Amino acid sequence: MSIRNPRSQTSAPYAEALTAYAQKEWIRLIVPGHSADERAFGSLAGFAGGTQLRQDVTPLLDGLDLGADSPMAQALQLAAGAWGAHRTWFLTAGASQGNRVAAMALGSLGQHLVVQRSVHSSVIDGLVLNGMRASFVQPTVDCELGIAHGVTANDLAAALAEHPDAAAAFVVTPSYFGAVADVRALADVAHAAGVPLVVDEAWGAHLGFHPDLPQHAIAAGADLVISSTHKLGGSLTQSAMLHLGHGPFADVLERLIQRAFRASQSTSESALLLGSLDLARRRLATETDAIGASLEAADLMRRQIRARGRFTVVSDGFAQFPDIFAADPLHLAIDTRAGGIPGHEARWRLMKEHEVMVEMATNTTIVAIIGAGAAPDTGRFIDALHALPVTLDQRHDALQLKLPAPGEMRMAPRLAYFAPSRTVQAEQAIGQISADTLAAYPPGIPNVLPGEVVTSEVVSFLQATAATQGGHVRGAADPAVRTMRIVTPAD
């Protein structure tokens, strides 16, 4: 299910009202302080554009935000209808805000959460905020490429049976590499255990809006879905949505989410971001042909990569993993090691030598993303990819950075985060309790959490990641991860 009546989705009430508002000759004696004065703020107007200055308005204005039938209320109703949700919230701090809102709300349902271990670090930030204990479900891992996928319904069921006090289950799908889990089976398992299923669908805002795309999580029975609309849905960076499903937990979750949303919501939300969400929803809901063209471009890229024979397509091996129910065709993950070049180097050379940007790299792969409705120059990308030099003598194991298994969880994330701590040499941190969340980024999946024991494998992996071209460890005070912050043992 995606859109019951596409014709009802053809307007963009908030974006249209904002455009009309910006065209009036206001004397603006209000914030923001630039007052849309292009002459006085010429450098800002030159940077952002005069139209954007005029559309950058303060929140809570009559004719835009206020009232039960305001343009904003209409835009939210249309978004809920497009995704088949019971209710939708617009977010201006990304899906990370949505993950934190969800975690804060779930804290009212209990003190224990079952969580996919490969969640985004913002989910762990939410656990720090709400103080909940977490039990983790391990995802399947492609050991050869060193990438994590999703969880199976059987593994989630086992975790929920082991922890009957769990208040909810929190999973991630699609993965950064386009692997889509069986959300229907996961929802059935969660509901059988009497808990809601929360899905971080940051990479799947576009799902369900074309017959050749997998079903989106709300349609598959999820109770709460975090949607990073700016990623593949076409809104401006930092804009996202939070969707509430129609399941048995809708009433209680609606009240809790609204409360948590208000606690995290900026009182100065960007009208530009909000308007872009309204327009992205309309485009997804009404421009199926444009999405189809993007799918054709992605399929052409895969065919050409296979035909040339140097590189391989990661999704061609998805069938061997029991958690992968479908693949998102707008994610193009490429095994660069097969073509004789590390992923980080391939990404760097594509950008510096060919002015081609790809979303991310690991040591063995690159991931190219095609936005729903985008029309990339496929030939230029394929030619640039195959113009990369061979810098590896062979497909040797030295290239592979094996994902480290997490250490034992000895403290709740919140307790470890706020506990007295000290900074030590990374080698001295081995066997100690981490005070921080550290994650190779992208994709931002934590490799060590507050409360987990630091292992030698984690230290080696993070240091190797930081040493690679373009490598970055989110949360590290020392970019090279020569030092780490650990919980100070109690006397």
Domain spans of the chain? 6-286, 288-399, 413-487
Q: Which two tokens stand for residue 48?
A: 């952002």
CA pair distance 276, 205, nearest whole angstrom: 14
CA pair distance 425, 436, nearest whole angstrom: 14
Output the pLDDT for position 472.
84
- Where are any strands of DSSP class E within 143-274? 147-148, 168-172, 179-180, 197-200, 224-227, 240-244
Instruction: Give the largest Cα separation in the chain, rounded.
Output: 67
Cα 123 versus chain centre, distance: 11
CA pair distance 203, 119, nearest whole angstrom: 12
Question: What Å distances lie between residue 204 and 25, 214, 346, 360, CA to CA?
Answer: 40, 9, 26, 17
The CATH code of the domain at 288-399 is 3.90.1150.10
3-class state of residue 133 by DSSP: strand
Contact 417/450 with Cβ under 8 angstroms? yes
- Digits of tens for pLDDT over the chain (491 positions)? 334 444 489 999 999 999 999 999 999 999 999 999 999 999 999 999 999 999 999 988 988 998 889 999 999 999 999 999 999 999 999 999 999 999 999 999 999 999 999 999 899 999 999 999 999 999 998 988 888 899 999 999 999 999 999 999 999 999 999 999 999 999 999 999 999 999 999 999 999 999 999 999 999 999 999 999 999 999 999 999 999 999 999 999 999 999 999 999 998 999 999 999 999 999 999 999 999 999 999 999 999 999 999 999 999 999 999 999 999 999 999 999 999 999 989 999 999 999 999 999 988 999 999 999 999 999 999 999 999 999 987 555 445 567 788 899 999 999 999 999 999 999 999 999 999 999 887 677 889 999 999 999 999 989 988 887 667 898 888 889 999 999 998 76
DSSP 141-178: EETTTTEE----HHHHHHHHHH-TT--EEEEE-S-TT-
Question: Using CB atoms within 10 A of its CB, is residue 287 exposed (0-12), middle (13-18) or buried (19+)?
Answer: middle
96 closest CA partner among 132, 117, 76, 123: 123
Judge whether 6-286 and 413-487 match in fold: no
Output the pLDDT for position 401.
64
CA pair distance 268, 60, nearest whole angstrom: 9
Fold classification of 413-487 is Ornithine Decarboxylase; Chain A, domain 4 (3.90.100)
Angle between helices 271-286 and 288-308 (to 10 degrees): 80
Q: Which two tokens stand for residue 399?
A: 């290239």
Fold classification of 6-286 is Aspartate Aminotransferase; domain 2 (3.40.640)
Q: Which two tokens stand for residue 215?
A: 């079903």
Q: Which two tokens stand for residue 81?
A: 């209808």
CA pair distance 195, 169, nearest whole angstrom: 7
128 closest CA partner among 435, 441, 420: 435
Question: What Å distances lie between residue 404 and 253, 281, 283, 437, 464, CA to CA?
Answer: 35, 39, 41, 15, 12
Strands of the sheet containing 197-200, edge to edge, are 87-91, 240-244, 224-227, 197-200, 168-172, 112-116, 133-137
DSSP 117: T
pTM to 2 decimal places: 0.93
3-class state of residue 121 by DSSP: helix
Question: Using CB atoms within 10 A of its CB, is residue 397 exposed (0-12), middle (13-18) or buried (19+)?
Answer: exposed
Backbone φ/ψ region at 110: left (φ over 0), alpha (ψ -120 to 50), beta: left
CA pair distance 437, 235, nearest whole angstrom: 29
DSSP 398: G
Question: Using CB atoms within 10 A of its CB, is residue 183 exposed (0-12), middle (13-18) or buried (19+)?
Answer: buried
Contact 445/119 with Cβ under 8 angstroms? yes
3-class state of residue 298 by DSSP: helix
Give the type of residue at 437.
T
Q: Which two tokens stand for residue 306?
A: 């296979």
Output the pLDDT for position 445.
80
